[in-house]
């Protein structure tokens, strides 16, 4: 743990906890109220290589929690933040190398109000372990890694229990060229016929000191007791070693039997594998011949494909050339047609301009003629009205005037018919349609005026009939 930053506003003291494999360790308590805190402490977890490999394989992580201890002892600790460090990311340090320890800055997660930073380094360091003396020296090189012997006085057998067995869990690793296995076995070790409690009581009865409080006598008694206890301990160790040798021989026989069975099984599997390999070699020869034949077929097909491809390329080149030549001809023809059409369009535009001018002239002529006709008709109508008034005055003159008016009306009909025929001869059908559509209203108005004149004449006739002058006025329709 290196210095930490951002702890200026914290009151009280600070503690850092680290947990790995449910093992929790903590640093020293450091007073707060400083922006930079000097932890200068280490958290060490000791383990063997197997557990370290398991931790790396399982992607284990180290949890580091930072707590604030308030000044008031009755209040609970406040967690400032936490970190999760992976064991894989740790730096491995060798004692022979001179590598520097990498120091990284970490920001605490889960902090609500402020941001706290800790500088720390995570590394793995090896340390030497002294060799443990073997309890038995055999050719199998037995190594006892765990022996939970009961050495306390409270676990010794009592007076009445003479023949008791001490059950011990011993893990024995057999190291041999042929066998490399480890098993947990239970060894039953028989105690001596006389229990330790009886020995101690007999010793007390024989060597019970008097009620004189002498310091020298007490020391002598203690020495005797220690000597007898050591002697008893040696005897128990001898018995324990003998029983261990017996168990070792039995285990060695069991392991040899298992190894022989496994060897037979492996030899059978090897024979089967050899037979399958022979069959596969025969199949490989057949397949090699098949591959050679297929290779020849493939080469022939490749030659055919190359020839066919060359012919296709030549055909493609010829078709492209033909297309290019035909495209050039078509482009020339289209350009000629385009020029011809442009000249035609220019001529048609000129003719269109001329026709427009003619149409305008015709419209002006028609408008003038219509106005003159209307004026002429109005004059004739006014004259007829005057004559009608005079005829009312003199019946003799009315007959002549009536006949003259009828003749004039017939002449007007003939003139209109002649004008229409002349217009058909002068103009084309399209021009006539346009003119008629434009002047249809005017013609209708003229016809309505003529109809009104006829109605007036009929009224005059009826008046004359009433006055007995019908025989003198024949009307031609």
CATH number of the domain residue 14 falls in: 2.60.40.150
H helices of 145-214, in order, are: 196-206
Number of domains observed in the structure of the chain: 3
Looking at the structure, tell me whether residues 400 and 461 fall in a common domain: yes
- Cβ count near 398 (within 10 Å): 21
Intra-chain end-to-end CA distance of the chain, in Å:
136
Residue 200 has pLDDT above 50, yes or no: no
Q: Is residue 262 part of a domain?
A: yes
Proportion of the chain above pLDDT 70, given as a percent: 66
Answer yes or no: do 118 and 83 share one domain: yes
Domain presence at residue 280: no
pLDDT top residue among 278 and 477: 278
Distance between CA atoms of residues 337 and 345, nearest Å: 12
Highest mean pLDDT: which of 134-138, 151-155, 202-206? 202-206
On whether both 29 and 64 belong to a single domain, the answer is yes
Task: Pick the range with the lowest mean pLDDT from 102-106, 249-253, 407-411, 460-464.
Answer: 460-464
Asked if residue 260 has pLDDT above 60, the reply is yes
Q: What is the mean pLDDT of residues 226-255?
A: 87
pLDDT of the residue at 97: 64
**Residue 149, pLDDT score:** 35
Residue 365: per-residue pLDDT: 80
Domain span including residue 92: 4-125
Can you say whether the dihedral through the CA atoms of 247, 253, 259, 265 is positive or negative? negative
Q: Is residue 277 part of a domain?
A: no
Domain boundary pick from 237, 271, 305: 271
What pLDDT band is residue 372 in, cutting at 50, 70 and 90? confident
In a domain? residue 95? yes
- Residue 53 counted as domain residue: yes
Residue 374 in this model has a pLDDT that exceeds 70: yes
User: Are 10 and 46 members of one domain?
Assistant: yes
Q: Say what the pLDDT of residue 182 is.
A: 40
Final residue in a domain of this structure, among 271, 301, 334: 271
250 in the same domain as 154:
yes
Pair 121, 167 in one domain = no
**Cα–Cα distance measured from residue 208 to residue 203, given in angstroms and rounded to the nearest whole number:** 8
Mark whether 97 and 213 lie in a shared domain.
no
In a domain? residue 281: no
Which of 64, 96, 125 represents a domain boundary (last residue)?
Answer: 125
Residue 62 pLDDT > 70: yes
pLDDT at 122 over 60: yes
Average of pLDDT values for 399-414? 75
- Shared domain for 191 and 107, answered yes or no, is no
Which of 3-17, 44-58, 413-427 reaches the highest mean pLDDT?
Answer: 44-58
Determine, yes or no, domain membership for 68. Answer: yes
Neighbours of 174 (CB within 10 A): 18
The predicted pLDDT at position 144 comes to: 34
Band of residue 397 on the pLDDT scale cut at 50, 70, 90: low
Same domain, 147 and 260: yes
In the chain, % helix, strand, coil (3-state, to 5) comes to 55, 15, 25
């Amino acid at each position: 743990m290196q210095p930490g930053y951002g702890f200026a506003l914290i009151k009280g003291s600070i503690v850092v906890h680290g947990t790995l494999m449910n093992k929790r360790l903590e640093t020293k308590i450091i007073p707060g109220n400083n922006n930079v805190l000097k932890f200068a402490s280490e958290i060490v977890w000791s383990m063997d290589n197997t557990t370290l490999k398991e931790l790396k394989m399982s992607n284990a992580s180290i949890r580091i929690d930072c707590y604030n201890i308030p000044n008031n002892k009755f209040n609970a600790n406040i967690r400032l933040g936490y970190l999760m460090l992976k064991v894989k990311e740790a730096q491995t340090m060798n004692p022979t190398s001179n590598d520097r320890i990498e120091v990284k800055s970490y920001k605490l997660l889960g902090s609500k109000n402020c941001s706290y930073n800790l500088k720390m380094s995570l590394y793995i360091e090896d340390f030497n372990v002294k060799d443990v003396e073997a309890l038995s020296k055999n050719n199998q090189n037995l190594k006892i890694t765990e022996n939970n012997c009961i050495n306390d006085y409270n676990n010794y057998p009592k007076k009445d229990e003479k023949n008791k067995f001490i059950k011990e869990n011993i893990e024995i690793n057999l190291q041999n060229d042929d066998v490399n296995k480890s098993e947990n076995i239970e060894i039953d070790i028989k105690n001596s016929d006389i229990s330790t409690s009886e020995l101690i009581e007999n010793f007390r009865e024989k060597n019970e000191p008097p009620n004189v409080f002498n310091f020298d006598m007490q020391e002598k008694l203690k020495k005797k007791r220690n000597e007898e206890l050591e002697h008893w301990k040696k005897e128990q160790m001898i018995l324990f070693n003998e029983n261990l040798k017996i168990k070792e021989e039995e285990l060695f026989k069991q392991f040899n039997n298992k190894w022989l069975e496994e060897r037979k099984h492996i030899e059978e599997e090897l024979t089967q594998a050899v037979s399958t390999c022979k069959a596969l070699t025969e199949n490989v020869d057949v397949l090699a011949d098949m591959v050679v034949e297929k290779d020849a077929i493939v080469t022939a097909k490749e030659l055919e494909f190359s020839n066919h491809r060359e012919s296709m390329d030549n055909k493609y080149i010829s078709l492209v050339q033909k297309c290019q030549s035909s495209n050039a001809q078509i482009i020339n023809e289209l350009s000629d047609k385009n020029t011809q059409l442009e000249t035609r369009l220019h001529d048609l535009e000129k003719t269109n301009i001329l026709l427009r001018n003619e149409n305008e002239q015709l419209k002006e002529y028609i408008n003038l003629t219509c106005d003159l006709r209307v004026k002429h008709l109005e004059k004739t109508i006014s004259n007829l009205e005057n004559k009608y008034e005079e005829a009312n005055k003199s019946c003799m003159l009315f007959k002549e005037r009536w006949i003259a008016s009828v003749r004039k009306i017939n002449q007007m009909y003939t003139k209109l018919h002649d004008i229409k025929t002349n217009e058909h001869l002068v103009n084309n059908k399209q021009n006539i349609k346009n003119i008629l559509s434009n002047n249809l209203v005017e013609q209708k108005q003229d016809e309505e005026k003529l109809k009104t004149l006829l109605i007036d004449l009929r009224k005059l006739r009826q008046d004359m009939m009433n006055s007995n002058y019908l025989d003198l006025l024949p009307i031609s329709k």
